Structure 1
């Protein structure tokens, strides 16, 4: 265990000595700060005092939609849940989350997990391939340490970098949001419809859960990039394929959603928002199904990575 911890520490030392690593960190900071300044000084920050009237009108429109074109299954349930949540807001005087508020701003910044995923892919693609291109892989493997531990330390370091980016995104968005928008409305809860009733939940917990849900794609794409980097010893190939799939995979799956088999494709299962919004991509999909599919892909990526790395001839 001590050996593995030392390897992880060495990998992190090498990682954070690179200028490129801090450039990526700086970009996340600048993007969050830029969004905050834009929301504060460019967008119309006038608080809507007629929100109850708007929610009443929204409920009427939703009811008319259901009456005119009856929805079936999860779609209908989602509409009913939204109506109940709107009614709860009106009855308990809980306004919707305002974009130019602390919680609204932090919720908006959760969309930047894609940026954290992009940077994690870059790290995952180079952390193994660079050892081959620089010729340092031989020096690394002559140590009295198993290849599995060497590879595991690199993979864990990649995940730690991803968690660092997510923590930075959460923490810095809280700081920027607090400074620009203050703490007015900080007591506002997140409303969720569960078992026929509307429940108030902590907003911080909701924001963390959003980061977690959005990070599923990050984990899978980083693991894919790590696998390609290890198998083909090419960081550029790993970056190119992973980024291409990350941006085009969901769109391709959406186009093929009419086919039953598409639910077994990786990108059909990385978006867990489809279950919370009540509209799965393919009828019959569930959270349990997606977790099983993702586990199969994940185990496959990891197994192929370890098998190839342990058998590879580094002298070649």
Structure 2
């Protein structure tokens, strides 16, 4: 299994698009730092403010991860390399999970790179102090709260990992369902951007709280309040867990039954 994961990682990192994705995110981070230099002047927590703002770039990482995940299985069928892949003395499920774990490592590693790069770039420009400076926010009960800026940064990145994980898993499932990598990538990104619109369009129905996209943002239970009335943190965690298992079950079934003769 370890060898399969290494092989899949090699496929990801030897493609030029991977490094283009990394370059886009890092250049955007540097640009944001330069633009923010004036607005952060005089504050003692500049580097942490930059890191907090930079967490929004996880949206870009989610898009790039969706592209990689959408191509991971479907790309093997598009190029015809799936036949060679299945000649190895391992089960289909091992091949499938090695691909998923490789994409997951890529995505989470990308977020870790963003976190470290934002700290380094921000520290070089603004200085590395201010971790204990206070960050104020309005919680789900509309009360003003204060936490250290460093804690706010960790929370922002932590919450960003949930939609990243779910979007990546959806993309991977779609990749296992379709033979065309282009179609798998297009459908994955479309679903990602259409999620909020779907929740809004179905808000009149009592079952809208069971929609995946209404539950991805766990930060809503700490800041601002839930998107849909009647939802709780525990409810969203259970819904996300059910979807996660379901997506993997569909992907496994589709890949296990896929005919590679043609």
Q: Same fold, TM exceeding 0.5? A: yes
The gaps in structure 2 that reach 5 residues or longer are none
Greater C-alpha radius of gyration: 1
1:106 to 27, 47, 51: 51
SS of the residue 1:280 aligns to = coil
1:251 to 197, 221, 233: 197
Matching of residue 11 in structure 1 with residue 37 in structure 2: no
Aligned pairs for 1:285-304 within 5 A: 285-304=231-250
Query: 1:229–1:238: 8 Å Cα contact kept in structure 2?
Result: yes
2:33 to 36, 60, 63: 36
Cα separation, partners in 2 of 1:46 and 1:145, compared to 1, 3 Å? closer
CA distance in 1, matches of 2:5, 2:228: 41
Query: 1:257–1:281: 8 Å Cα contact kept in structure 2?
Result: no
CA distance in 2, matches of 1:24, 1:46: 30
Q: Counterpart in 1 of 2:105? A: 160
SS of the residue 2:77 aligns to = helix
Query: 1:124–1:226: 8 Å Cα contact kept in structure 2?
Result: yes
CA distance in 2, matches of 1:23, 1:158: 16
Query: 2:131–2:148: 8 Å Cα contact kept in structure 1?
Result: no
Q: Counterpart in 2 of 1:211? A: 157
Query: 1:117–1:218: 8 Å Cα contact kept in structure 2?
Result: yes
Matching of residue 227 in structure 1 with residue 224 in structure 2: no
Q: Counterpart in 2 of 1:23? A: 20
Matching of residue 238 in structure 1 with residue 235 in structure 2: no
TM-score (normalised: structure 2): 0.91
CA distance in 2, matches of 1:296, 1:162: 22
Q: Counterpart in 1 of 2:83? A: 138
The CA deviation string for residues 147-198 of structure 1, in whole angstroms up to 9 with x for no partner, is: 111111000000001011101110000011101111342332456889xx99
2:70 to 125, 130, 134: 125
Greater Cα shift, 113-122 or 239-248: 239-248
TM-score (normalised: structure 1): 0.76
CA distance in 2, matches of 1:10, 1:151: 13
Corresponding pairs, count: 260
Query: 1:254–1:281: 8 Å Cα contact kept in structure 2?
Result: no
CA distance in 2, matches of 1:190, 1:33: 23
The CA deviation string for residues 240-275 of structure 1, in whole angstroms up to 9 with x for no partner, is: 112112112113313433432110111111111221
CA distance in 2, matches of 1:129, 1:198: 48
Q: Counterpart in 2 of 1:312? A: 258
